[in-house]
DNA sequence: GGTCAGACTGCATAGGTATGCAACCGGAAT
DNA sequence: ATTCCGGTTGCATACCTATGCAGTCTGACC
């Protein structure tokens, strides 16, 4: 209702100039102890706080980071969002959230809006960025960091887990468990994440003298993954192990195998996931999976975006973070060495 | 790298005044067809887009809504966040996200930061707001809407489900199922949500000639809920039904009962939840639960915040949205009428 | 006491846009 | 032809803060 309190109001009340007030609220400025106290008192009394928007108009820094994300029903991303927000808060930045499907027009539109807000940086999660768009951001001087998804072409930093190595680890584990027919319900093959895990899995199997028994794209979608599981198990030679491209789908697959098809996991078929979302540890699933260390990925993402903001021509980095295989009960174990 | 494109640049290129450019990008302004075309062409060519921050400095409207949320590991809130973002995007608003614990200092701090960004409105989810803070927002003219949590005192709009009625529905259902000893692992009793559901449950039971067999606060936390389940089942007269204050905890309780205590659900004990998160429908849980209609709650929230923004002295409203009981397999069913 | 360095402080302006006001234009009505 | 009016346009200013520059003040040192 009543007008906004401005630095001028505080200046008047404290009997000083507006610049003085500004300086008191700008860390690193030269102000005397006495002045600082006078101003702080007046500000306190009036309930003054600097206007971030007006400030950013001058400094050119809005302290807003745009986050573009496709799914939030996958708890891995919900968790990442929470951790990102907390980590950035620590540094005085905050997240402006945009949901985007993975269609090109959608993403384009979102990035445009994002730039309208003069964001200091952009983090994309589970999003494919066109090279052209990346180019525009670069020209506008806005750093972009891809979380858990890399992008075609150069110019963007990307943080992901070591997907290829992870896929290979899983392959080795299944092979050691004596599985003969290892199938893969992959993550969306239009994503680097989905492709790399599949490639790593194939390489790992071939290293063990096996090959991928069958592979179907699960599109990161529960229903699609369930259908894939159905198809796989109806093959003339059904698999004895299925590596599913992420936990979200893996749990759907387990549900389908157990409750629709009446198959025992892991006795009839082993299931392994990827991500280690919290639910994977719940006893109903007890899912063997490869952990993506969300905490470390988030920390790396935050650090990367901050350096790119403060040092615009820092080199673009691609960081892969290694994660351990968490052996639980959804896949047959390797035999102990005798 | 290269300077930002401003309305002045466009004006120069199009050979018109800066005001003209501004008007072209301000819906509802008076501009001739010819002028609009000239300006749009120039803008297109230069890649100009209005600076939202500078604009908001004048209009006093940032088109940013602050969202304060405590948990994102409860998928109900992750889902709500996604739906909120999409619905607001539709109206040209966007969400600035803040995580806050439920400690007072935490929330205070967050709201202060929020106001620094000159947000047009605040949505709190699963957060308790102090009356004093509410007062400050009101004085600053910033409307606040509480999502799924009401607040002590007046002054704030609140959208929630009909928690009391929901609790009562569950009580009636359990009573009809012939349960004799109905216990409650409640939501956090420091929250209106948790309290109202508990009260409704008690009222519903008493209506059926029963009373609450035992009640323990689950604090909306998985581990606390599991401990509560353990305690309940070790009573000299253990319950034959447990209403758990939300799905998130209910699934933990089911896991604990089944896998740690070796009890069958629903044969040994019935379990009912609240929320109907997507996972509740998954066959591993097949959880009987009361649906909170997220979509409708979000729509109501968006509409409420928008009217409060455009009409500052619109009356504060408390909206309760009714949801159906979804009968699945985690609780013994009422006998068919003979 | 005079000088000088250094620490503060105020003045004036910039940053990008929206908007009240006055000027302008064309056309219709008289 | 004159008047008047509605529709457009440009000018100037406001929104709120940060910062370069120049001026002031303090204290120390010779």
Q: Which residues in chain A have Cβ-Cβ distances shorter than 8 Å to B93?
A: none
Q: Which residues in chain B have Cβ-Cβ distances shorter than 8 Å to A278?
A: 73
A75, B79: Cβ pair inside 8 Å? no
Residue A154: pLDDT band by 50, 70, 90 thresholds?
A: low
Q: What is the DSSP string of A205-266?
A: HHHTT----EEEE-TT-HHHHHHHHHHHHTSSS--SEEEESSHHHHHHHHHIIIIIS---TT
- pLDDT at residue A338 is higher than 60: no
A284, B284: Cβ pair inside 8 Å? yes
- pLDDT at residue A337 is higher than 60: no
Q: Which residues in chain A have Cβ-Cβ distances shorter than 8 Å to B309?
A: none
- pLDDT at residue B121 is higher than 60: yes
Q: Beta strand A144-147 with A157-161: parallel, antiparallel or unpaired?
A: parallel
B99, A85: Cβ pair inside 8 Å? yes
Name the residue with the least CA to C1' distance from nucleotide D17: A55
How many angstroms separate the CA of A17 from the C1' of C11? 9
The pLDDT value recorded for residue A98 is 94
Residues by Cβ under 7 A, strand C: A 16-20, 23, 30-35, 54, 57-58; B 3-4, 6-8, 18-19, 22-23, 25-26, 29, 48, 50-51, 54-55, 57-59
A282, B251: Cβ pair inside 8 Å? yes
Burial status of residue A337 (CB atoms within 10 A of its CB: 0-12, 13-18, 19 or more): exposed
Measure B133 CA to nearest chain A CA, in Å.
12
Task: Give mean pLDDT, residues B296-320.
Answer: 92
Give A15-38 pLDDT, tens digit per residue: 999 999 999 999 888 888 888 899
Give B53-62 pLDDT, tens digit per residue: 999 999 989 9
Q: Among residues A207, A209, A189, which one has the least CA distance to residue A198?
A: A189
Comparing A211 with B30, the larger pLDDT belongs to A211
Residue A73: pLDDT band by 50, 70, 90 thresholds?
A: confident
- Tokens in use for B161? 């489900």
Angle B11-B15-B18 from CA coordinates, rounded to 5°: 30
> Rounded to 5 degrees, what are φ and ψ at A258?
-75, -50
**Which among B78, B141, B253, B271 is the top mutation candidate for probing chain A, defined by the most A β-carbons within 10 Å of its own β-carbon?**
B78
Measure B68 CA to nearest chain A CA, in Å.
11
A210-219, A304-313, B98-107, range with greatest mean pLDDT: A210-219
Q: Beta strand A144-147 with A94-99: parallel, antiparallel or unpaired?
A: unpaired
Task: Give mean pLDDT, residues B73-88.
Answer: 93
The pLDDT value recorded for residue A303 is 95
How many angstroms separate the CA of A10 from the C1' of D17? 13
How many angstroms separate the CA of B23 from the C1' of D10? 12
A97, B99: Cβ pair inside 8 Å? no
The pLDDT value recorded for residue B3 is 67
The pLDDT value recorded for residue B254 is 97
Range list of H helices, B234-338: 247-255, 294-310
Q: Which residues in chain B have Cβ-Cβ distances shorter than 8 Å to A136?
A: 47
- pLDDT at residue A104 is higher than 80: no
**Which among B64, B117, B222, B328 is the top mutation candidate for probing chain A, defined by the most A β-carbons within 10 Å of its own β-carbon?**
B117
Of A49, A255, A259, the CB nearest to B112: A49
Q: What percent of chain A has pLDDT over 90?
A: 74
The pLDDT value recorded for residue A102 is 67
Q: Which residues in chain B have Cβ-Cβ distances shorter than 8 Å to A62?
A: 53
- pLDDT at residue B337 is higher than 70: no
Measure B236 CA to nearest chain A CA, in Å.
27
The pLDDT value recorded for residue B129 is 74
Question: How many residues comprise chain A?
Answer: 338
Residue B338: pLDDT band by 50, 70, 90 thresholds?
A: very low
Comparing A274 with A5, the larger pLDDT belongs to A274
Which run of H or E residues covers position B177? none
Residue B154: pLDDT band by 50, 70, 90 thresholds?
A: low
Range of lowest pLDDT (A93-102, A166-175, B75-84): A93-102
Residues by Cβ under 7 A, strand D: A 3-4, 6-8, 18-19, 22-23, 25-26, 29, 48, 50-51, 54-55, 57-59; B 16-20, 23, 30-32, 34-35, 54, 57-58
Spatial separation of the C-alpha atoms in residues B173 and B274, rounded to whole Å: 13
Task: Give mean pLDDT, residues A253-261.
Answer: 96
Give strand C nucleotides closer than 7 A to any protein Cβ: 7-12, 14-20
Q: Which residues in chain B have Cβ-Cβ distances shorter than 8 Å to A72?
A: 78-79, 81-82
Q: Which residues in chain B have Cβ-Cβ distances shorter than 8 Å to A53?
A: 53, 56-57, 62, 117-118
- Per DSSP, what are the bridge partners of residue B159? B147, B319
Spatial separation of the C-alpha atoms in residues B66 and B168, rounded to whole Å: 34
- pLDDT at residue A204 is higher than 50: yes
Spatial separation of the C-alpha atoms in residues A247 and A245, rounded to whole Å: 7
Range of lowest pLDDT (A33-42, A90-99, A121-130): A121-130
In sequence order, what are the residues at sequence separation of 6 or more whose Cβ sits closer than 8 angstroms to the Cβ of residue A32? none
**E strands present in A106-212:** 121-125, 144-147, 157-161, 182-186
Measure A78 CA to nearest chain B CA, in Å.
6
- pLDDT at residue A248 is higher than 50: yes
Work out the angle between the directed axes of helices B7-14 and B33-46 (0-180°, nearest 10).
Answer: 120
Of A2, A136, A255, the CB nearest to B283: A255
Of B49, B96, B115, the CB nearest to A115: B49
Q: Which residues in chain B have Cβ-Cβ distances shorter than 8 Å to A259?
A: 283-284
Name the residue with the least CA to C1' distance from nucleotide D7: B30
State chain A's mean pLDDT as an integer: 91
How many angstroms separate the CA of B39 from the C1' of D11? 19
**Which among B97, B263, B286 is the top mutation candidate for probing chain A, defined by the most A β-carbons within 10 Å of its own β-carbon?**
B97
The pLDDT value recorded for residue B30 is 83
Residue B248: pLDDT band by 50, 70, 90 thresholds?
A: very high
The pLDDT value recorded for residue A151 is 64
How many angstroms separate the CA of B16 from the C1' of C9? 41
- Domains in chain A: ranges and CATH: 7-50 (1.10.260.40), 63-161+294-321 (3.40.50.2300), 163-292 (3.40.50.2300)
Range of lowest pLDDT (A208-222, A250-264, B103-117, B220-234): B103-117
Q: What percent of chain A has pLDDT over 70?
A: 96
A1, B117: Cβ pair inside 8 Å? no
- pLDDT at residue A323 is higher than 70: yes
- pLDDT at residue A335 is higher than 80: no
State chain B's mean pLDDT as an integer: 91
**What are the distances in angstroms from CA A216 to CA A173, A213, A244, B259, B322?**
21, 10, 10, 33, 42
The pLDDT value recorded for residue B66 is 95
């Amino acid at each position: 209702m009543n007008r906004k309190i401005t630095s001028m109001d505080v200046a008047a009340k404290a009997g000083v100039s507006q610049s003085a007030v500004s300086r008191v609220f700008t860390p690193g400025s030269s102000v005397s102890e006495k002045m600082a106290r006078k101003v702080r008192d007046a500000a306190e009394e009036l309930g003054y706080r600097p206007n971030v928007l007006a400030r950013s108009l001058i400094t050119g820094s809005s302290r807003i980071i745009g986050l573009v994300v496709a799914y939030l029903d996958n708890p891995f991303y919900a968790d990442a969002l929470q951790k990102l927000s907390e980590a950035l808060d620590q540094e005085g930045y905050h997240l402006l959230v945009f949901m985007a499907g993975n269609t090109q027009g959608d993403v384009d539109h979102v990035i445009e809006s994002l730039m309208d807000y003069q964001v200091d940086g952009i983090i994309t999660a589970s999003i494919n960025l066109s090279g052209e768009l990346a180019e525009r951001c670069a020209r506008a001087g806005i750093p972009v960091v891809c979380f858990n998804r890399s992008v075609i072409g150069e110019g963007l930093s990307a943080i992901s887990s070591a997907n290829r190595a992870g896929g290979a680890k899983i392959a080795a584990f299944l092979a050691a468990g004596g599985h003969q027919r290892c199938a893969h319900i992959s993550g969306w093959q239009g994503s680097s994440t989905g492709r790399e895990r599949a490639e790593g899995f194939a390489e790992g199997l071939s290293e063990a003298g096996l090959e991928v028994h069958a592979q179907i794209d699960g599109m990161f979608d529960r229903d699609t993954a369930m259908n894939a599981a159905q198809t796989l198990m109806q093959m003339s030679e059904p698999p004895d192990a299925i590596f599913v491209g992420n936990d979200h789908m893996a749990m759907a697959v387990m549900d389908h195998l157990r409750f629709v098809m009446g198959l025992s996991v892991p006795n009839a078929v082993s299931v392994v996931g990827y991500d280690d979302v919290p639910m994977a540890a719940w006893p109903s699933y007890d899912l063997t999976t490869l952990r993506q260390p969300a905490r470390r990925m988030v920390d790396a993402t935050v650090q990367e975006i901050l350096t790119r903001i403060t040092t615009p021509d820092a080199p673009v980095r691609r960081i892969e973070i290694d994660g351990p295989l968490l052996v639980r009960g959804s896949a047959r174990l390797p035999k102990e060495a005798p």
